[in-house]
Amino acid sequence: MRIGVVGAGILGLAIARRLAETRPGAQVTVLDKEARVAAHQTGHNSGVAHAGLYYAPGSLKATLCRRGIGLLKDYCAEKGLPYEECGKVVVARDAGELGPLDEIERRATANGVPGLRRLTGSELREIEPHAAGVAALHSPTTAIVDFPAVARAFAADVTAAGGEVRLGFEVVRLGRAGDRVRVGSPDEELLFDRLIVCAGLQSDRVARLAGDASGPAIVPFRGEYYRLVPSRTDLVRGLIYPVPDPRYPFLGVHFTRRVDGGVDVGPNAVLALAREGYRRRDVRPADLWETLRFPGFRHLARRHWRTGAKELYGSAVKRAFVAQARGFVPELTADDVVAAPAGVRAQAVDPDGSLVDDFRIGRAGPVVTVRNAPSPAATSSLAIAEHVTAHL
């Protein structure tokens, strides 16, 4: 059997690895248009291995995150990859955030997150001396990881098991040949018995090529970061997060220690003007027009324009961005941070304007389509691989 996987991000590679190692005799081929693996979301994320605090109990996110973080920890230990349980505090800044913090604690407990501890304001400062808040929830097993390194290790596992990772292969057409699938680039056509689409920022487009026209469309949001200057990284010991707004799947501006010792501050969430628009000057008119004419985006914009305007202001004015972050670390000043690389989130949006929160996986004949796989997909990658391949 020949099995193709579109997308050499961490999720596509995890699925290909699982297939190559558990399907004796199968020929597994990963296809990606870029010249390297982990070129997009995997290579631009915050590097956090999530313990499962926020997700609705019983959801795919909750189930696969809890399974996935254990598998990921073991894999990093096996391969000698960085994995540091620096811990996370979710901080309630005032009494108005105590109710939502209670709900996070309820969900985290139901999800079986280990070692949870509710903190008072003074107890918070024992863990994060420069943080401010009236209460917090501490997750000591939340960790930081080098996800691009994990993705490269997955790719090596695929080839070691007899599979192939083909870079520079852009999928521009899909078609049926009886029970099989034709996958074409501008220069070549391949034939597979099964195909799994894990195309991230291009996932809806490739799914439509496969005949899976229903489902959400991708609206790209650029997440912009600042980074603490080296002399100020002592402001943060681990991870400092806000109580998230339940209306959005975004977590808000937070502080993230990285495995290289740096500390990132962010991200905000502004509309990207290109599917892969990591810089403000990256504009692709065809991408922008596709977003603007999508009914779901217009519904979303009408419903949440005030939040969008606030995010744009934070993007344009550094002191406004820093002011948000200062709500958690009051000593922070604009001189303490410098611009850092941005990421782009492939946010799935339904036609009615609803932001898709849970993982969404579809099927069109011999093609499995991963239509929505936001955070904690990297944490959950090995568990998602188990889930997808079990239903192939």
pLDDT tens column, 319-354? 999 999 999 999 999 999 999 999 999 999 999 999
At 126, the amino acid letter reads E
Residues 134-149: b if buried by 16+ CB within 10 A, e if exposed: bbbbbbbbbbbbbbbb
Q: Quick one: DSSP state of residue 276?
A: T
163-172 tens-digit pLDDT: 999 999 999 9
pLDDT, position 13? 98
Between 316 and 154, the higher pLDDT residue: 154
Q: For 172-226, what is each residue's pLDDT tens digit?
A: 999 999 899 999 999 999 999 999 999 999 999 999 999 888 779 999 999 999 9
Q: Which pLDDT score, from 0 to 100, does residue 316 have? A: 85
Give the bridge partners for 219, in sequence order: 347
Residue 248 predicted with pLDDT over 70? no
> Which token pair is 132?
């401010």
- The owner of tokens 């913090």 is 101
Residue type, 21: E
Q: How many other β-carbons are positioned within 10 Å of the β-carbon of residue 193?
A: 14
Q: Which of 89, 113, 383, 353 is nearest to 242 (CA)?
A: 89
| pLDDT at residue number 327 | 94
Residue 2, judged by CB atoms within 10 A of its CB (0-12, 13-18, 19+), counts as middle
CB-CB neighbours of 232 under 10 Å: 18
Backbone dihedral region of 327: left (phi > 0), alpha (psi from -120 to 50 degrees) or beta?
alpha
Q: Which two tokens stand for residue 370?
A: 């991963």
Provide, rounded to the nearest whole percent, the portion of the chain with pLDDT above 70: 98
